A = this chain, B = another copy of it.
Amino acid sequence: MMDFSLNEEQEMFRNYVRKCLNEAGQTMVAREFTCGNTSEFIKLQKKLAELGCTGITISEEYGGLGLGALDLVPVLEEFGRAVLPGAYLETMAFVVPLLEKYGTREQKETYLPEIAAGTRSFSIAWVEPNKSYDPDVIECQAVTKGSSLVINGVKTLVPDGNQVESLLLIVRTDEGGNGDGLSLVLIDVNEVTDMKTLSSMDETRNVTEITLENVEVPMARVIGEVNQGWNVLKEGLLYLHAATSSMLVGSMDHIVEMSSEYAKIREQFGQPIGRFQAIKHRIVDMKLDLETARSLSHYANWALDTNQQDKEAAIYSARTFATEANIRLASHNIQNHGGIGFTMEMDCHLFLKRARFYENYMGSISQFREDVSKGLGWSYEKPRFQLTSK
């Protein structure tokens, strides 16, 4: 029967997570994190793991709950509400589904139980300095040496590289074109030759750059087939972007709440400012954006779980809409708050910076739109990789 809402268990899980985040002080964890104080975040991570957050999409055989993308949705929305730091997204909505589908028995046994227990998380090392996400510009190289791979290269914009234990690394193992010749390698952070943390506008997520100099790892670390990494990665991106949309929806939810509440209590000219249509109607438009993003992201995750034909279009639609809407909302939120919105004191800025973090994260808006177009069969040409969002 048609029922377009999260089920009771999912809503109940949301409540547990929200309670846990509220007890941790909601955005306070992110605020502390931006000041370099990660202890609150680490404590919270443990609690969330105890709740079961880190096992949702992992099969029961490896210590998880064996649930789907839709079950992640309430958790991700709550994390987005709290602008939570950490690589939960990359771990649970990218590496886990790939391990589940393409991992060898050995890989699964090595990684999945630790992820479920909350003792291992993953980030993604893809883009290189002055490069786009185009697969054909990847230069970081892995050369076969006996049963090992020897890796050389530089990866940048690795999210939270300094917060995770492992990385999924995209390397060139052969000559390419159209995404050929790439492989995905699972490596540990301590195998990396050098890592530096870059200054980022959004300090709730650390951005790192890693250098690999003759890093030797066993061939068994390759996930999926050698040279076929691009197709594996593209499948993982469906999970990642569906999940990203949900996290953005969570942020938007908090933003609309902030603006509405402030508009009810802040007075100017003897009136709560929410009485002025300039403010009121703007918040209404924000609400419309929020609900639209929520509908799109819920459907996207459902389509992913149930393998609908339109899943690609659904996921990238959700991703583009939520990304742009989130930036819009975060900006409006500052304006609605006036002067106080321009300060570090209010949370407004956290949401704006986070919105920018995800704008060009693992793709660009124009690229995603071409993916929608492709998903709907509008164009059969290979979509050209676009440099930027606009």
Q: A interface vs B, CB < 8 Å?
A: 276-278, 281
Contact = CB atoms under 8 A, between A and B. Distances in A.
Contacts of A276: 277
Nearest to A279: B277
A281 B277 CA distance: 9
Q: Majority SS of interface residues in chain A?
A: helix
A108 to B, nearest CB: 49
A282 to B, nearest CB: 10
A176 B251 CA distance: 56
6 contacts: A276-B277, A277-B277, A277-B278, A277-B281, A278-B278, A278-B281
A287 to B, nearest CB: 16
Ordered nearest first, which 6 A-B pairs have the shortest CB separation? A277-B277, A277-B278, A278-B281, A276-B277, A277-B281, A278-B278
Contacts of A278: 277-278, 281
A318 to B, nearest CB: 23
Interface centre among A276, A277, A281 (most CB of B within 10 A): A277
A278 B283 CA distance: 13
Contacts of A281: 277-278
A201 B387 CA distance: 39
Nearest to A276: B277
A146 to B, nearest CB: 50
